[in-house]
Amino acid sequence: MDTRKSADKDRMQDIVSLCKRRGYIFPSSEIYGGVNAVFDYGPLGVEFKNNVKRAWWDAMTRQRDDVVGLDASIIMARRVWQASGHEEVFTDPLVDCTNCKARFRADHVIEDQGNLDTCPNCGAKGTLTEPRRFNLMFKTYMGPVEEDAGLVYLRPETAQGIYVNFLNVQSSMRKRPPFGIAQIGKAFRNEISPGNFTYRMREFEQMELQYFIPPEQEERWYDYWKEQRRQWYLDLGMTESHLSWHPHGADELAHYARAAVDVYYEFPFGSKEIEGIHDRTDYDLRRHTEFSGKDLSYYDDIEKRRYIPYVIETSVGADRSALAFLCDAYDEEVVKEETRVVLRLHKRLAPVKVAVMPLSKKDELQALAHQVHDSLRPLGLTQYDDTGGSIGKRYRRQDEIGTPYCVTVDFDSLENKKVTIRDRDTMEQRFVHIAELRDVLAADLA
Ligand code: GAP
């Protein structure tokens, strides 16, 4: 048996079960048997994913002068998707098994087994149909009657909301290329073969930047954004050797791209794409100019010339990158002959920053511990844990959810006004005056 493969499979199962057990991620509509490839983020998951999104938003907009934000709607005019090309070509090749009725993406089957000769589900030979194109956009209808005139799509990417607002943003914010518009929001794809937990879902979130540039600066900004995005992962503690870069060959390029590179992460289930960086040229603005009749070119009154800006796009799934950060952080180590599970999340991403624990439930200790806890609330989400059980057990619970620091209030604290800070990664402990505690932790969490 391939032991590495089975260890990796176990690792993924451990992560999925931790997510459920500790309130990170639940299957959607679970009490009704779940919905395939749709997930809900629990109390810690929503904090964690928000931290991922905040880290992206901060790096991509607030720390820069040349990028502004946008929050466009999910439902847009149908013409948008005709102009973008999605109505025509946003399809995957679908094959059916005539024996077991399972459906697959033909390219995935070929990737896995080299041909379409046998059904990956039931193993029958010669039962897969010829591939046919299947459009991935979810349809719905505006208004009370389900008729073609009311047909709309749930957006399959957030990018188009940016292109159709190009003029609004550019003119209201008085921006001159090079400048970017960033957006985080839901996207929907009726994936044929979803799977691997939150890796490939039917409802997910994207974090996308469209960076508008003078056409001749295409190469420079493509290279620039590749490096910026690499650095983002490293700044948030991602293991560099788990990241790799895969430029698209001519046959892999999306219909809008002249050049593209995928960022891959080494998941337990294989090395897979988490982000795409695309040179979209003037494809989108040109098409929207054609389809809407509105001129989306830019007149540069310094250089006295008019052009349709080119676009460099960086597009990453919030869920997918969050899953990569979770996989990267998951660790098990043996401490005193017991296995300690620890999520070594970067402090900025950890959902709970500090947990406060009174050593006992005695009133006088609880009062002081509550005071300490209240004083730490400005640091971010905190937890108060006075559940029974040893301090060791409570530390382990916090390790599992990735809390960087635990603060223990014991009977000596009542006398000497000192508490213990325990570090998640090193498990080292230090004593700190309560009066200095918040500043010390704020510096450590920064
Ligand atoms: N606007 C360009 C675009 O949408 P894409 O490569 O199709 O490009 C970009 O998607 C990113 O969106 C992917 O790298 C992935 O992180 C995320 N993504 C795409 N489909 C997804 C799905 N079904 N589930 C989760 N994330 C997905």
For ligand 1, the distance from its centroid to the CA atom of residue 112, given in whole angstroms, is 21
Reported as a pLDDT band with limits 50, 70 and 90, residue 9 is confident
For the chain, the first-to-last Cα distance in angstroms comes to 46
Residue reference for tokens 């017991």: 338
* Lookup: tokens for 215: 């056409």
pLDDT value at residue 418: 97
pLDDT value at residue 251: 86
Average pLDDT over residues 266-275: 97
For ligand 1, whether the C-beta of 191 sits within 6 Å is yes
pLDDT value at residue 1: 43
Q: Has residue 145 got a pLDDT over 90?
A: no
What percentage of the chain has pLDDT greater than the value 70? Answer: 99
CB neighbours (10 Å) of residue 348?
18
Atom 18 of ligand 1, residue of closest alpha carbon: 317
* Lookup: tokens for 12: 């993924």
330 in Cβ contact with 15 (< 8 Å): yes
Average pLDDT over residues 32-36: 93
pLDDT value at residue 256: 86
For ligand 1, whether the C-beta of 319 sits within 6 Å is yes
Q: Across the chain, what does the average pLDDT equal?
A: 95
The b/e string for 73-98 (b: 16+ C-beta within 10 A; e otherwise) is eeebebebbebbebbeebebbbbbbe
Reported as a pLDDT band with limits 50, 70 and 90, residue 147 is confident
Q: Which atom of ligand 1 is nearest to the CA of 273?
A: 14
pLDDT value at residue 44: 98
Reported as a pLDDT band with limits 50, 70 and 90, residue 210 is very high
Q: Which atom of ligand 1 is nearest to the CA of 191?
A: 23
Reported as a pLDDT band with limits 50, 70 and 90, residue 3 is low
pLDDT value at residue 252: 85
* Lookup: tokens for 333: 């180590």
Reported as a pLDDT band with limits 50, 70 and 90, residue 425 is very high
Of residues 54, 26, 13, 412, the one with CA closest to residue 236: 54
pLDDT value at residue 195: 84
Of residues 248, 224, 198, 384, the one with CA closest to residue 312: 224
Measured distance CA(93)–CA(415) in Å, rounded: 71
pLDDT value at residue 7: 72
Q: Has residue 2 got a pLDDT over 80?
A: no
Structure-model confidence comparison of residues 287 and 108, the more confident one: 287
Q: Has residue 276 got a pLDDT over 80?
A: yes
What percentage of the chain has pLDDT greater than the value 90? Answer: 89
Q: Please tell me the pTM assigned to this model.
A: 0.94
Q: Has residue 196 got a pLDDT over 90?
A: yes
Structure-model confidence comparison of residues 146 and 186, the more confident one: 186
Listed in sequence order, the DSSP H helices in 60-147 are 78-84, 86-89, 106-113
349 in Cβ contact with 48 (< 8 Å): yes
Q: At what angle do helices 363-376 and 434-445 cross, to 10 degrees?
A: 40
* Lookup: tokens for 2: 């391939």
Measured distance CA(400)–CA(344) in Å, rounded: 9
For ligand 1, the distance from its centroid to the CA atom of residue 432, given in whole angstroms, is 46
Average pLDDT over residues 293-317: 97
For ligand 1, whether the C-beta of 200 sits within 6 Å is yes
For ligand 1, whether the C-beta of 317 sits within 6 Å is yes
For ligand 1, whether the C-beta of 316 sits within 6 Å is yes
pLDDT value at residue 5: 60
Question: Residue 343 forms beta bridges with which residues?
Answer: 330
For ligand 1, the distance from its centroid to the CA atom of residue 359, given in whole angstroms, is 47
205 in Cβ contact with 184 (< 8 Å): yes
| 262 residue type, one letter | D
| pLDDT tens digits along 361-411 | 999 999 999 999 999 999 999 999 998 789 999 999 999 999 999 999 999
Average pLDDT over residues 47-58: 98
Measured distance CA(69)–CA(213) in Å, rounded: 17
Atom 20 of ligand 1, residue of closest alpha carbon: 200
Is the Cα torsion angle 434, 438, 439, 444 positive or negative in sign? Answer: positive
For ligand 1, whether the C-beta of 204 sits within 6 Å is yes
